[in-house]
Structure 1
Amino acid sequence: MQVEELTNEEEWEHFVATSQDGTFYHSLKWKRILEDVFGLATEYIVIRDSEGRVAGICPLALTRGGKLFNIIASLPHSDFGGPIFREGVESEAASALRGYLIWNRRLHSVAYARIRCSSRDTVNYLDTRGAKVDASMGTMNLDLLETSLDDLWNHVYNRQTRQRTKIRRVERDGFQSIVADKITDLKIFYQLYHHNMTHIGASPHSWSFFQKVWDLLYPEYFNVILIANGHHCIGGQAFFIYPPRKAIYKAYIGIDRNASTRYQLYFYLSWSLLKWAESQDLHRISFGGTPANAQSVNYTQKRQLGAIFHQDYIMYIPIDMKQFLLRQSLRWAGLKLRPLLPEKLKRRLYPAVHGL
């Protein structure tokens, strides 16, 4: 197997679009976001067999882990990423990628590689001495070809969990979903998004981030749905679209916290997105990163919408062992300290620990 950097963009896009594990985030559209919006250096890797055919790909970006270490990641700022291997050559392609990561990254003073794996098999293929695996997260997904809107409404949504009541309450008060068609709609969404992120103690993306994403990807690969009654808007969601796989990826949400005391806006936003997806002949819906804990609110809400949990694995491959062991010590200390802190400090500590 031979490992090389991306040279043929059309070949890359075709491989992603025709692969079972291919996502919007593997496409070169996200590469452009990483470079032009986040300002990251990227390295997109192609693995070829002895006949020159693509045996696998792995999108990578040079970034920081917890603001302390230089790391190579696949992929930052997303709930997806990692290598995709051609069926039948997974082990050989993974071995070639692992060797490339360990050998090549030492030249850039990188502490470790952080690779998202969509299966346990991929973890096993990439395993190496000292590697660590985090199985605390996955994604929740729904395929409308397997469970139609009618099936959801009539069989999944029930009186006990009251999904239909939560959706109808919003509509009874005159609100409806509106698909963005101008930059002012994005501005309305951003105000709700910024307010919501600030309310929960998280760091929002800047307005310029959304402007650039809009300019680069709207409307084919990015859009926004708002919940409004006239000029009164109480919620919105931004999402990415990947037409080759007929897929949608929920990414950012904005909620009027005053309205959220009356409405369960997450359910109406999600239902609106499902209806829009069906109207656009899109059937794969990702509800994003989710804790691997069926008791968590995040998990429960998505499950009530009909989504199915898919276990992901984050693999940490040491490259500079001394730095990697320091990373392990800091992460362990952060996880031990976090439960003892007040809620606001917990929220501030989480990104630092999670980013390691």
Structure 2
Amino acid sequence: MTSPSLQTVNSPIPAPSVSSAALVVRAFENQDAERWDRFVLEHPGGTFFHQMAWKRVVEKTFEHQAQYVYGERDGRIVAIAPVFMVSNWMVGRCLVSSPLASYGGICAEDLEAGNALLAFLKRRAQEQQVDYLELRNPAGGTLPEFVPNPRYSSFSMTLSKDPEAVLKGLPKDIRYMIRKAEKADLHVRRGPELLDEFYRLFAINMRRLGTPVFPRSLFVNLLQEFGKQIDVLVVYAGSEPVASAVSFLFRDTMHPYYIGGLPVARDLAANNFLWWELMKFAAQSGMNTFDFGRSKKGTGAYAFKKKWNPKITDLDYQFFLVMRKTAPNFSPANPKFEVATKAWSRLPLWLTKKLGPRVVRWIP
């Protein structure tokens, strides 16, 4: 059986494996930002999280140390590797591509460039004696010497430009819940000025899940750095906000990423209504793909997204172990964290909003 190669890690298009020009691996510098982003936009495997703005958001919000590198040939970027050093008492010291992101890993035009960056990252991990190097590859299989992390899947759907056609293509029970919400006279508003309403619902939802909430500054920084690539949506029952979402817009894809909501949202079918309004907006905006985002297998979020009948893709997250002997598992679903998760869900909301941003910095 042939080992997976980097030429397909972040690209659905096979690329040449050799080039006559010499390849040079360089550390990213600020003057490279424009060239880097141009490569991300032009490469079929480039994602929202490979953009320079994501680097700035992570640095400003969590102070993780960026160690970005790229491959250059004839003065042109042909491969990139966005990597951060994350170091704290909980995870130890690790290199992650990329923290907080659904997708990461190396993007390369060809096999030579991709393998050169991979070899560089492995050497750096060994020289810095980190516990592990993590690549959050969306596809491509497990690379040689890496240990797979098979816990996550992503969900996506191809959209028609006609929202009515999209609606007709949804499963019957989903359409029923959308109609139920419409009869309850739910309505939506969108815009960055709704950030505070989004965040209140987001904090409530995270506490219910027993998960530390991200700091409000994360969302402020996302809006500052990405601008119109960020969509803020709030669902109202009358004048009361009941569900909310912050979504990422990249090329022809809409990617809802952070979701908030009150417990009553389920009874009102507000969650289904929220996702439908996001999907409808994407179709009306001419986007071709709706990315439901990643979820851990066996969770309620996984089951909810599966009901929409999307394409399900197992993500090829993986670890290159250096000082650690076994792959880490910092997921809240880990049985080791069960007691802490239940305890967190019982804390007062004000306390979770105070403590959560401190705790979540430890988890990449």
Coarse TM-score class (shorter-chain normalised) = 0.7 to 0.9
The counterpart of 1:239, out of the listed 233, 247, 259, is 247
For 1:76, what is the secondary structure of its paired residue?
coil
> Deviation of residue 355 (structure 1)?
5.5
- Measured in 2, the distance between the counterparts of 1:192 and 1:228 equals 12
What residue is the counterpart of 1:179 in the other structure?
190
The counterpart of 1:140, out of the listed 141, 152, 155, is 155
Change in CA separation of 1:246 and 1:204 when aligned onto 2, cut-off 3 Å = same
The counterpart of 2:103, out of the listed 70, 73, 80, is 80
In the alignment, structure 2 segments of 5+ residues that lack a partner are 1-22, 347-358
Indicate whether 1:60 and 2:83 are aligned.
yes
Q: How many residues align?
A: 326
> Deviation of residue 107 (structure 1)?
4.2
Pairing 1:212-231 to 2, within 5 Å after superposition: 212-218=221-227, 220-231=228-239
State TM-score, norm by structure 1: 0.81
What residue is the counterpart of 1:211 in the other structure?
220
Q: Deviations over 1:215-271 (max 9, x none)?
A: 3333x12121111144211111111222xx2222211111111342x2232211110
- Measured in 2, the distance between the counterparts of 1:107 and 1:339 equals 32
Indicate whether 1:2 and 2:17 are aligned.
no
What residue is the counterpart of 2:318 in the other structure?
315
> RMSD of the TM alignment (CA)?
3.1
**Percent identity of paired positions between Structure 1 and Structure 2:** 20
- Measured in 1, the distance between the counterparts of 2:333 and 2:302 equals 21
- Measured in 2, the distance between the counterparts of 1:169 and 1:28 equals 42
State TM-score, norm by structure 2: 0.79
Change in CA separation of 1:26 and 1:341 when aligned onto 2, cut-off 3 Å = same
Pairing 1:68-107 to 2, within 5 Å after superposition: 68-86=91-109, 89-90=110-111, 92-107=112-127
Amino acid at match of 1:120: G
Indicate whether 1:272 and 2:295 are aligned.
no
Change in CA separation of 1:209 and 1:118 when aligned onto 2, cut-off 3 Å = closer
> Deviation of residue 317 (structure 1)?
0.9
What residue is the counterpart of 2:352 in the other structure?
none
Change in CA separation of 1:214 and 1:3 when aligned onto 2, cut-off 3 Å = same
- Measured in 1, the distance between the counterparts of 2:235 and 2:41 equals 32
Change in CA separation of 1:342 and 1:16 when aligned onto 2, cut-off 3 Å = closer
What residue is the counterpart of 2:349 in the other structure?
none
- Kept in 1: contact 2:208–2:345 (CA 8 A): no
- Measured in 1, the distance between the counterparts of 2:277 and 2:62 equals 30
In the alignment, structure 1 segments of 5+ residues that lack a partner are none
- Kept in 1: contact 2:91–2:363 (CA 8 A): no
- Measured in 1, the distance between the counterparts of 2:133 and 2:315 equals 16
For 1:156, what is the secondary structure of its paired residue?
coil
What residue is the counterpart of 2:264 in the other structure?
258
- Measured in 1, the distance between the counterparts of 2:334 and 2:293 equals 27
- Measured in 1, the distance between the counterparts of 2:311 and 2:65 equals 34
- Measured in 2, the distance between the counterparts of 1:269 and 1:66 equals 38
